[in-house]
Structure 1
Amino acid sequence: MSVIAESAIFTNDRLARRNAVLLALAQAIGGASASIVIATGPLVGYMMLTDDKALATLPVSAMVLGTAFGTLPAGMIMRRYGRRFGFMGAALIGVLGGFLASYAVFRDVFSLFVFACALSGFAGAFVQQYRFAAADTATDAFKPKAISWVLAGGVLAGVVGPQTVIATKDFFDPILFAGTYLAQAGLSLIALALLVFLQIPKPPRPKSSDARGRPLTQIIRQPRFLVSAACGICSYALMSLVMTATPLAMIGCGFTETDAALGIQWHVLAMFGPSFFTGNLIARFGKERIVSIGLALLAGCSIVALMGIELAHFWGALILLGLGWNFGFIGATAMLTDTYRPEERNMVQAANDFLVFGFVAAASFSSGALLNAFGWSTVNWLVFPFVVLCLGLLGWLLRHERKAALAV
């Protein structure tokens, strides 16, 4: 690519807007796979397991762990072959994961079902890169909006996923959810068709050692990187901790699978619905302030959950949980974009997502065990100390950067 053509990409947001719309649509379809596993994985696990029901959340944990393991390969593949190649290959893996999960449900093979969920999670590692891909061809002014546009595609995913569960859970009655995972494979095929039209130029090959960017260790030592990564980890991990336990807690309190699926629907809508204006809020009030509001909303989720076990408490907590994730995670993602140069983007984004989803996997895996051993209240009480920690880190960062600015 010529220097003139590359410069035109970053001074004209027309291509960036087109890519953001395509990625938002792909997010709407590809993101639905995650909500399907979240809504049904613990229930399928609970039905398959005969002894240790604490492992019922293992399918969701496997999905998140698959995402964690997929982050570094995603960065390397897309750095070498481009975004579209990586995204389309991941969509094919998503198709395979859906087919294997459906077969596992038919055959009642828990280990195969867990593996299939891990494959879906691996494909999800590439889906997580959609938000960064949307910013690749955007100007600095449009980057927060591009990120929020892509995540706004999750609004549709919040409807598509749970409604797919409700519509297909009895398709092969009496084998519950077998049809749901067959439908999941179909959704991945649709996402693949959308990604064919994506146009993101590969990063130019470095002509010198300086053009390759700084060492990763130097980048991650930046205070802004450390705080943005910590806030991203806590926003996502705390959301995963509470969300993964919620369907099982609802069933344990006498609610139905449909009640749980609808609760996840409201949760995912709350996760992605604010994305239509989160970018504008970040531009107006600042990244750090939006992250702080997100963390406060996560604490509010636990407060509502601790107030009772009626349906309104579960759904209200899930809505606040989604809102908190949106503000906290999008704000932290926007903070992260301040820490790297264009030639460093794939390496830093992959490292950040590896950290985030490694902790999210641990939170998801521990969720079922905590719920089974200590109860629903304990799961929610664990949110508060991490929220306080992240708020303290944000305050420290602001003071540190203010002192650095005065020193200059």
Structure 2
Amino acid sequence: MPRANAVPHRGLSLAVLIVNQLLAGVGVASGIAVAALLVGELTGADQLGGLAQSASVLGAALTAIPLARLAVRRGRHVALATGYALAMVGAILIVTAAASGWVPLVFLGLAAFGAGAAAGLQARFAATEVAAPGFEARSMSLVLWATTLGSVAGPLLADAGNQVGQALGLPPLVGPFVFSGVAFGLSTLLVATLLRLPKAGQLAADAEGPAVGEDAGPAEATDAVDTSGAVAAEPGPAVASAPPPSVSSWDALRIAVRSPRALFAILAIVCSHTVMVGVMVMTPVHMTHHGLSLTLVGVVISIHIIGMYGASPLVGWLADRIGSPRVIFIGVAILLSATLIGILAPADDMLLVPLALGLLGLGWSCGLIGGSTLVTRSVDPSIRVPLQGATDAAMNLAAAIAAAMSGFLLGWGGFAAVNIVAVFVLVPLVIAGVAAVRSSRAGLSLEPSAPAR
């Protein structure tokens, strides 16, 4: 089938994805800014605040693979609409449970709420599917950048949402989830009515080459580690051999980790996200413990989100120009800087704390965009979508564990302990990067073998 038919109206599809991410950004950020505080208020134990993020991130992990399967069978637009609809239901459950005082239902609602984050992350892969060859990272970064306005507005609306909720007779800290539910409802409606993408499996079949009469665009680059130890973008084939079409997400992951390059890409996504979530989720609790207001908490989280998404077009451009691995290494350096500031900065320092959170977001952006682009370019199209789902599930599961541990780490050793543990999370990523360099120097094949047919 011609590729032009496989991806109709690239510009319209990308525009819908961008507008949708604005709404989804409001939906996720409005609620997540106060989730830890809400759970601490309902349970009377601030140490359990990390479990709020854990429930949400675990929900994202549990829905990542089913959404990827749905993308293969029905199309990305169906998968995205389903994820946002689940998040809307989750917001409704949170409001209902908090109003009734039934705490277990709050965690169930937060788990469903996490499906919105999973859908938002999978929208970045949808952007690569509508991109011209060679522009995947830039298209991905535009969709992520669109999340900036909504995500920055979300925490800033926390206080307003709280006032609206109290005016409606809801308990404190519940009102922001009303905003989240409305935003996710609009996002679901937009994707379901305007976005139309082919099944992901069909895109894989069309990935062998451009259609007759279609401009193929710049040659698609495959990121590789050169023999001098530097990372460069070089033309080349995908590294993984084609497995059977029915390969599962976990089989795709098992195939991919045999490639040093693909393993490096996967760990870039997983480790960067784990560090970001583990530190970010305890920042509001850390600040409020030292007497800072909810408004100041919202400002700091907004700066963090600007770091996550504001520079994403530059990060995407760099990934296409200098290679995804170099961008990943830059992200590691930025994340290390952020955690070191977090270890040393006083909680009430309104210069260093926002700087640390901004750098934390920027390092995450480099890891996510660099790693996601490298994952897309490192494997055969026939395992690409299952691997994307498995990678997102793995990163959210790891982040859920980190969020759960961060509350206890904060109680045990303070905010410095949270950041110290985050530094150790980066160690496997650095080791994988070094291994990829050494494999290239030794002339070893980066291609994992396919499973037996």
Provide the secondary structure at the position in 2 that maps to 1:263.
Answer: helix
* 1:46 correspondence with 2:79: no
CA distance in 2, matches of 1:134, 1:230: 21
Unaligned runs of 5+ in 2: 206-241, 448-453
In the other structure, the counterpart of 1:246 is: 283
**TM-score by structure 1 length?**
0.91
Q: In 2, are the aligned partners of 1:250 and 1:314 still within 8 Å (CA)? A: no
Amino acid in the other structure paired with 2:434:
G
Report the Cα distance in structure 1 between the residues aligned to 2:331 and 2:391, rounded to whole angstroms.
19
Query: Does 1:212 find its partner at 2:245?
Result: yes
Aligned to 1:231: 268
Tell me which residue corresponds to 1:373.
412
Q: 2:422 aligns with which of 379, 383, 395?
A: 383
Q: Report the CA distance between 1:35 and its aligned residue.
A: 1.9
1:328 to 367, 389, 392: 367
Distance (Å, rounded) in 1 between the aligned partners of 2:256 and 2:414: 40
The 1:182/1:362 distance shift into structure 2, 3 A limit, reads same
* Partner of residue 37, structure 1: 31
- Aligned-pair distance for 1:330? 0.9
Q: In the alignment, is the contact (CA less than 8 A) between 1:32 and 1:161 conserved in 2?
A: yes
Whole-angstrom CA distance in 2 between matches of 1:407 and 1:69: 30
8 Å Cα contact 1:84/1:198 also seen in 2 = yes
Number of corresponding residues: 400
Q: Which residue matches 1:308? A: 346
Q: Secondary structure at the match of 1:86?
A: helix
Q: 2:303·2:357 contact (CA, 8 Å) conserved in 1?
A: yes
- The DSSP-based 3-state class of the residue aligned with 1:200 is coil
- SS in structure 2 opposite 1:169? helix
TM-fit CA distance, 1:231: 1.5
Deviations along 1:245-294, one digit per CA (max 9) or x if unpaired, are 10000001110111111111111111000112211111222211111111
Q: Which amino acid aligns with 1:361?
A: A
- Deviations, residues 173-195 of structure 1 (Å, cap 9, x unaligned): 37212221111110011212321
Aligned mate of 2:187, from 180, 191, 196: 191
Q: Distance in 2 between matches of 1:406 and 1:351?
A: 24
Report the counterpart of residue 157 of structure 2 in structure 1. Answer: 164
SS in 1 for 2:153: helix
Deviation at residue 236 of structure 1 after TM alignment? 0.4
Identity percentage of aligned residues: 26
Letter in 2 for 1:26: N
Instruction: Give the 3 Å change call, closer, same or farther, for CA 161–326 of structure 1 in structure 2.
Output: same
Q: Which amino acid aligns with 2:285?
A: L
Decide whether the 8 Å contact of 1:148 with 1:275 is kept in 2: yes
Distance in 2 (CA, whole Å) between partners of 1:63 and 1:263 is: 21
For 2:339 and 2:90, the matched residues in 1 are separated by: 33
Q: 2:22 is aligned with what amino acid?
A: A
Partner of 1:61 in structure 2? Answer: 54
Runs of 4+ in 1 over 6 A off after TM superposition: 405-408
Pick from 411, 417, 436: which aligns with 1:397? 436
**Which residue is equivalent to 1:261?**
298
Shift of 1:44: 0.5
Range with bigger deviation, 107-116 or 144-153: 107-116
Ranges in structure 1 where 5+ consecutive residues have no aligned partner: none
Q: Tell me whether 1:18 sits opposite 2:16 in the alignment.
A: no
Q: Which moved more, 1:383-392 or 1:317-326?
A: 383-392
What are the Cα deviations for residues 194-236 of structure 1, in whole angstroms up to 9, with x where unaligned?
A: 21211211133999x9672775232332222211111211100
Tell me which moved more, 118-127 or 58-67: 118-127
- The answer to whether the 8 A contact 2:31-2:180 is kept is no
CA distance in 1, matches of 2:198, 2:95: 36
Residues 439 and 446, structure 2, Cα contact 8 Å, conserved in 1: no
Deviations, residues 5-56 of structure 1 (Å, cap 9, x unaligned):
x35657xxx8333322221221221133322233101111111113x43112
What CA distance in whole angstroms lies between the structure 2 residues aligned with 1:199 and 1:54? 44
Q: Is the 8 A contact 2:29 2:152 kept in 1?
A: no
Please state how far the C-alpha of 1:105 moved relative to its aligned partner: 2.2
Change (3 A) 1:314 1:180: same
Residues 42 and 58, structure 1, Cα contact 8 Å, conserved in 2: yes
Picking from 174, 177, 180, the partner of 1:181 is: 177
Change (3 A) 1:15 1:220: farther
Equivalent-residue separation in structure 1 for 2:246 and 2:24 (angstroms): 32
1: distance between equivalents of 2:440 and 2:189? 45
Aligned with 1:128: secondary structure? helix
Report the aligned-residue RMSD. 2.4
Summarize the Cα distance change of 1:407–1:390 in structure 2 as closer, same or farther, 3 Å threshold: closer
Structure 1: which amino acid aligns with 2:72? R
TM-score, length of structure 2 as denominator length: 0.83
Question: How far apart are residue 388 of structure 1 and its match?
Answer: 4.1
Structure 2 counterpart of 1:201, from 183, 198, 217: 198
Distance in 1, Cα, partners of 2:124 & 2:339 = 28
Q: Matched residue of 2:292: which SS?
A: coil
Contact map agreement 1:151 1:272 (CA 8 A) in 2 = yes
Cα–Cα, structure 1 residues 183 and 37, in superposed 2: closer, same or farther, change >3 Å?
Answer: closer
The verdict on how the C-alpha distance between 1:192 and 1:403 changes in structure 2, with shifts beyond 3 A counting, is same
Asked if the contact 1:301–1:318 (Cα under 8 Å) also holds between the matched residues in 2, the reply is yes
Which one-letter code corresponds to 2:34 in the other structure?
Answer: T
Contact 2:37 2:46 in 1 (8 A): no
SS at match of 2:9: helix
260 and 204 in structure 1: CA distance in 2 versus 1, 3 angstrom threshold: same
Residue matched to 2:71: 78
